[in-house]
């Protein structure tokens, strides 16, 4: 691991002040929370910050799950395990609890925060292994070794001719399905709230720029609005093994039903796309219709329309569609306690 | 930088580079080699320790930031004392072969029971999935965890 200066921030104001105090030679500051992704990538020499600002003490301010009048607040410093085991999250927002318990391992979930979770980097092997010279995400302009390489796990949606890395997380899809907002503080001390689904950027010609955050921005939490679909929500994740693996394909679904007719369908796909992927076309295909298996298949076809495969990952188009069909049917059939 | 680690009830003052992770500080600086280095990438669980009772991966904790009470395998039972019920159960159920993953398995299993995530075989398998065993002693590990759960409840 390369050398870095370690600083500790006692609270949000101090974290932002330290982030703002950038000098030309230490332009690469990173906040350190759970460290499960950042320290990993630093050991691999993929990320090379020369200054770490430890924000673990901010758990006092941002480490709570709170039930609100009009929804749910998840602080950015909440641990994955803490949110997954929260009784209100489990009963009223099952898609969130399921996306978290099906991710990582018990140890990692005890360490990783929700704020860091949504920012985790791709597991593309060509990104993680610096012995490969061509990776536009790691070294802009060098090319993409994955295009003609081992790309079985990589993305088929939202890709560009520069990058086919997939977004690896699960929780982000749950946030998108529930229409969450994210709260961010800038180094100017002001905070802003915006739709979570606009946090991640498509790779396009700049796959190294993954989010709309500015340097020093600090995520403080997520607001999940109440809605008739939050309790009828589900996360279906398909993996190579039963536990402790990233998604080959996953679907987060939240439904408002009137009988068996869809009033509102909210759908996000994971494992398949360059970013946490909102499946608008599938939502539109279902709205106002009966949620039959045939209609679910139609929605799945709409969701995967425009998918681009690169050889080894071609199976993901079919798998992604089937995963969504299963998620829709299982969500429809959920028994919701009054 | 000067740091202080609270390990198995003893406080240790150390002067370490900020890059040193807890795993290496335990093994190299404190001589507590019971905690094993497997992948060093957060994937295998061999380095699992408890911090304030929570199971974490010591390869992903900067030693300088490990301010809680750390429990390693050496802290479960002193010389001449009876073994922790989980250690005893691993012996009785033949829950290891080479033994390299065992300290991490045992600490993870103790936390798994305390969390309430050891109700049946399926749940134990799910919540112990972060501890890999290259010898594939999994069936007996699951038996040991479930057996120790009863002993831990009886001793509590």
Q: Can you give the residue ranges of every domain in chain A? A: 59-338
For residue A27, the model assigns a pLDDT of 66
- Answer whether B114 touches A (CB < 8 Å): no
- Kindly determine whether residue B62 and residue A39, on different chains, have CB atoms separated by under 8 Å: yes
Flag whether the pTM goes above 0.90: yes
ipTM score: 0.98
CATH code for B2-75?
3.10.20.30
**Tokens 């990993």 found at:** A40
Q: How far is B77 from chain A (nearest CA, A)?
A: 23
Q: How far is A106 from chain B (nearest CA, A)?
A: 6
For residue A299, the model assigns a pLDDT of 98
**How many angstroms separate the CA atoms of A181 and A70, rounded?**
13
Q: Which residues of chain A does B21 touch, with a Cβ-Cβ cutoff of 8 Å?
A: 39
Give chain A's residues under pLDDT 70: 23-27
- Answer whether B135 touches A (CB < 8 Å): no
- Answer whether B56 touches A (CB < 8 Å): yes
Which architecture does CATH list for B85-155?
Answer: Orthogonal Bundle (1.10)
- pLDDT tens digit string along A251-308? 999 999 999 999 999 999 999 999 999 999 999 999 999 999 999 999 999 999 999 9
Of B1, B41, B108, nearest to A107 by CB-CB distance is B108
Could you tell me which chain A residue has the CA closest to the CA of B55?
A: A107
- pLDDT tens digit string along B69-126? 999 999 999 989 999 999 999 999 999 999 999 999 999 999 999 999 999 999 999 9
Where along chain B do the CATH 3.10.20.30 domains lie?
2-75
For residue A26, the model assigns a pLDDT of 57
For residue B155, the model assigns a pLDDT of 74
- Answer whether B119 touches A (CB < 8 Å): no
Mean pLDDT of B22-41: 98
**How many angstroms separate the CA atoms of A277 and A270, rounded?**
7
**How many angstroms separate the CA atoms of B85 and B91, rounded?**
10
**How many angstroms separate the CA atoms of A250 and A143, rounded?**
28
Could you tell me which chain B residue has the CA closest to the CA of A106?
A: B127
Q: Which residues of chain B does A110 touch, with a Cβ-Cβ cutoff of 8 Å?
A: 54-56
The sign one gets for the Cα dihedral B34, B40, B43, B48 is positive
CA distances from B47 to A65, A228, B43, B101 (A): 29, 44, 10, 8
- Answer whether B115 touches A (CB < 8 Å): yes
**How many angstroms separate the CA atoms of B12 and A142, rounded?**
47
Of B54, B128, B129, nearest to A110 by CB-CB distance is B54
DSSP A22: -
Tokens matching residue B150: 């009863």
Could you tell me which chain B residue has the CA closest to the CA of A5?
A: B18
φ, ψ of residue B12 to 5 degrees: the values are: -125, 130
- Kindly determine whether residue B18 and residue A6, on different chains, have CB atoms separated by under 8 Å: yes
- Kindly determine whether residue A40 and residue B115, on different chains, have CB atoms separated by under 8 Å: no
Q: How far is B60 from chain A (nearest CA, A)?
A: 6
Could you tell me which chain B residue has the CA closest to the CA of A105?
A: B130
- Answer whether B113 touches A (CB < 8 Å): no
The residue ranking higher by pLDDT, A108 or B153, is A108
Where along chain B do the CATH 1.10.150.120 domains lie?
85-155
**How many angstroms separate the CA atoms of A81 and B54, rounded?**
11
Of A3, A43, A104, nearest to B40 by CB-CB distance is A43
For residue A25, the model assigns a pLDDT of 60
**How many angstroms separate the CA atoms of B127 and A268, rounded?**
26
- Kindly determine whether residue A105 and residue B130, on different chains, have CB atoms separated by under 8 Å: yes
**How many angstroms separate the CA atoms of B24 and A8, rounded?**
21
- Answer whether B108 touches A (CB < 8 Å): yes
CA neighbor of A182 nearest in space, from A220, A239, A212: A220
Q: Confirm or reject CATH 3.30.1330.10 for domain A59-338, answering yes or no.
A: no
- Kindly determine whether residue B40 and residue A105, on different chains, have CB atoms separated by under 8 Å: no
């Amino acid at each position: 691991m390369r050398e870095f200066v370690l600083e500790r921030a006692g609270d949000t104001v101090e974290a932002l002040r330290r982030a703002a105090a950038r000098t030309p030679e230490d332009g690469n500051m990173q906040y350190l929370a759970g460290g499960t992704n950042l320290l990993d990538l630093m050991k691999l020499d993929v990320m090379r910050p020369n200054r770490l600002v430890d924000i673990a003490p901010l758990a006092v301010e941002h480490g709570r799950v709170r039930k609100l009048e009009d929804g749910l607040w998840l602080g950015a410093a909440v641990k994955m395990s803490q949110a997954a085991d929260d009784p209100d999250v489990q009963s009223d927002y099952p898609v969130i609890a399921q996306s978290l318990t099906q991710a990582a391992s018990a140890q990692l979930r005890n360490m990783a925060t929700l704020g860091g979770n949504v920012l985790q980097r791709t597991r593309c092997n060509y990104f993680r292994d610096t012995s490969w010279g061509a990776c536009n995400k790691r070294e802009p302009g060098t090319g993409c070794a994955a295009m003609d390489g081992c790309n079985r796990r990589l993305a088929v949606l939202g890709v560009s001719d520069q990058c086919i890395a997939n977004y690896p997380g699960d929780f982000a899809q749950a946030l998108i399905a529930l229409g969450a907002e994210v709260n961010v503080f800038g180094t100017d001390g002001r905070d802003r709230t915006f739709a979570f689904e606009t946090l991640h950027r498509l790779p396009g010609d700049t796959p190294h720029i993954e989010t709309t955050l500015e340097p020093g921005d600090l995520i403080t939490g997520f607001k999940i609005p109440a809605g008739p679909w939050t309790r009828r929500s589900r996360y279906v994740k398909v993996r190579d093994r039963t536990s402790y693996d990233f998604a080959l394909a996953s679907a987060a679904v939240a439904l408002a039903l009137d009988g068996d007719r869809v009033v509102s369908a909210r759908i996000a796909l994971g494992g398949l796309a360059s970013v946490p992927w909102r499946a608008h076309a599938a939502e539109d295909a279902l709205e106002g219709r009966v949620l039959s298996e045939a209609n679910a298949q139609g929605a799945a076809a709409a969701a995967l329309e425009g998918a681009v495969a690169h050889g080894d990952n071609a199976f993901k188009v079919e798998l992604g569609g089937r995963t969504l069909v299963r998620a829709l049917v299982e969500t429809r059939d959920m028994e919701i306690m009054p | 930088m000067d740091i202080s680690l609270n390990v198995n009830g003893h406080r240790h003052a150390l002067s370490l580079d900020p890059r040193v992770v807890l795993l290496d500080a335990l093994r190299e600086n404190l001589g507590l080699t019971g905690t094993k280095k497997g992948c060093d990438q957060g994937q295998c669980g061999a380095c699992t320790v408890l911090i304030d009772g929570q199971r974490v991966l010591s390869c992903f904790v900067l030693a300088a930031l490990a301010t809680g009470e750390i429990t390693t395998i050496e802290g479960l039972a002193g010389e001449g004392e009876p073994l922790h019920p989980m250690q005893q159960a691993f012996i009785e159920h033949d829950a290891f072969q080479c033994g390299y993953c065992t300290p991490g398995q045992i600490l993870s299993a103790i936390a798994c029971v305390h969390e309430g995530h050891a109700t049946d075989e399926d749940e134990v398998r799910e919540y112990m999935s972060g501890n890999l065993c290259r010898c594939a002693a999994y069936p007996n590990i699951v038996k040991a965890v479930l057996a120790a759960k009863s002993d831990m409840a009886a001793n509590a």
